[in-house]
Amino acid sequence: MLYFQSIISLYSFDEYYFKKWPEQLYLLLVLFFCLFLSIRLYLKTKNHPVLVHWPIVGILPSLIQNAHRIYDWTVDISNTFGGTIAGRGPVFAGLDILHTCDPRNVKYILSTNSSNFPKGLGFKETFDIFGEGLFNSDSHFWLAQRRIARMTFNSKKVRNIITNMSQKVVQDALLPLLSHVAKQSSVVDLEDVLLRYTFDTSVNIIFGRNPNYLSTSFPWNKLANAIDEAMEAVFYRHIVPSSWWKFCRWFMIGSNERKLEKAWRTIDQHLTPYITATREDMATKGISTEESDLLQVYMGLKEGEKDELLLSKMSCDKFFRDTGFSFLMGARDTTASALVWFFWLLSKNPCVEAKILEELKLVFLKNTKGENCSSHLKTKRLPCTVFDADDQTGLVYLHAALCECLRLYPPAPLNRRNAVKDDVLPDGTVVKSGMLIIISSYAMGRMEWVWGKDCLEFKPERWMDEDGKLNHEAMSKLISFSQGPRICVGKDMGFVMMKAAASAMLFNFHVEVLEGQNIQPKPSITIGMKNGLMVRIKERELIL
């Protein structure tokens, strides 16, 4: 319409326009050129409507149009254009974008030449609610935090805290709640239950406090709700131009930034007392007392174990707030996301569920030394059976099934990086300095040329070798926890929490997914379910 209005005004019999004829002619040529360029670009991309490069606004209209199905859109892009494609963002954003799901490029970006592809300033601004924690840092400060985090998570002390607390929450809260639901024969949202499980477990592990969110009364929790609100707002920042949400943040206008600001205050109001209470506990009990949570381990680090860059930071409550929040977000939403998709996939593949049950039965019989416990289990359901850390080590098929779930539904489906210098990726794609790199692990898991013709099938066997052990070559393609120097330090913690819940739930209960549900990914930072997962819980009658 702008083009035609300009043309009409040009030919109006107004003396002003006759006097300005040279300027109007120049404007007319510019408008015709823009119109010609738009038509040319449209004709070039009309056969690929999944991604259209428009003048001025670039791929922004396509992004907004597909925001509700953002992950499947990356699959469409990859199937249409190949594993890697470059695009242009809006002119006013001054940003070139590169999307890839090619394993060769991913390994190069995240591992081989990771120093050229940091998260960047834009990432830190977008995820500003994480502060300066491990998740949000780069350069030397990230490296210093990384050293301490790896040392901490690899210690026997912390591994025991994680395994013991996961088993305790499963035994004392998760299984009793499911037993209650089963006796009531009621329908429950499994995603909500699992989010409550991971929330209670994570807060217990990190801060040594039990929120009791996983209760038969299904209580409302202000902190958990604030985290949900904050993550929705952060996801929205990825859809609109950064200049717009920064403008809204500066003037505190628009519901999204106001919602984030309110959620941020609520989160800090809850985490600050946790940190204060931990300091008081350590001061009362003494530094020699055995630490019972992750925050106490951090606060109790000796001077020789701290990095020089962190000496001043580690006496600051803000550092512990940022660190604790990063760990909480790394454990809560991601683990719950993986578990809910896992149980949905099992409902579609009963043969896989049967194999996992057989594996669990063998471990159970081994623990009971061949005693006949079948009748006991049928007559007395509580206390339910929980598998400990040693048991989980032998659950190879369960581990493979979880890996297969993470391949198809990675909790963090998109990973972003920024190119510092010009570079060339292994597939020959040229990367320009300042380019935004989007890695889609969700699309990678659905590429036939990566996984074969059965790429959309749920097959745990692809992660195992002929001897029934985990296939380390296949495991190298699992990027759900990232790769290279920034691989998730809480990877083992995630598997412990998943296995503790999955093994106990499967052995003691049958999860029946209600038919007729519209199951699709929720557009968010982590790939939850848009409408939840409604299920019925039934006590399982095991034949041993």
Establish if 8 belongs to a structural domain: no
Q: Give the pLDDT of residue 103.
A: 94
For the chain, the domain total comes to 1
Please give the structure tokens belonging to residue 120: 């960047």
Establish if 248 belongs to a structural domain: yes
Q: What is the 3-state secondary structure (H, E, C) of 157-215?
A: HHHHHHHHHHHHHHHHHHHHHHHHHHHHCCEEEHHHHHHHHHHHHHHHHHHCCCCCCCC
Establish if 182 belongs to a structural domain: yes
Q: Would you say 488 is a known binding-site residue?
A: yes
Beta bridge partners, 188, equal: 535
Q: Are 499 and 386 in contact (CB under 8 A)?
A: no
Token pair 């040319």 is found at: 40
Establish if 517 belongs to a structural domain: yes
Query: Could you list the pLDDT tens digit for every one of the 544 residues in the chain?
Result: 333 333 333 334 344 334 444 555 555 555 555 555 554 554 444 445 677 666 666 677 777 788 889 999 999 999 998 999 987 766 556 678 899 999 999 999 999 999 999 998 889 999 999 998 889 888 888 888 898 899 899 999 999 999 999 999 999 999 999 999 999 989 999 999 999 999 999 999 999 999 999 999 999 999 999 999 999 999 999 888 888 899 999 999 889 999 999 999 999 999 999 999 988 888 787 655 567 899 998 888 765 556 655 656 666 888 899 999 999 999 999 999 999 999 999 999 999 999 999 999 999 888 876 554 544 444 444 457 889 888 888 899 999 999 999 999 999 999 999 999 999 999 999 999 999 999 999 999 999 999 999 999 999 999 999 888 899 888 888 899 999 999 999 999 999 999 999 999 999 999 999 999 999 999 899 999 999 999 999 998 765 5
How far is the C-alpha of 498 from the C-alpha of 225, rounded, in Å? Answer: 22
Please give the structure tokens belonging to residue 192: 């909500």
Q: What is residue 484's DSSP assignment?
A: G
Which has the closest alpha carbon to 346: 385, 402, 395, 393?
Answer: 402
Establish if 7 belongs to a structural domain: no
Q: Which residue range forms the structural domain that includes residue 163?
A: 59-371+382-539
What is the residue type of 111? S
CATH code assigned at 207: 1.10.630.10
Establish if 38 belongs to a structural domain: no
The predicted model scores a pTM of 0.87
Establish if 285 belongs to a structural domain: yes
Q: Give the pLDDT of residue 13.
A: 37
Establish if 111 belongs to a structural domain: yes
Q: Give the pLDDT of residue 517.
A: 95
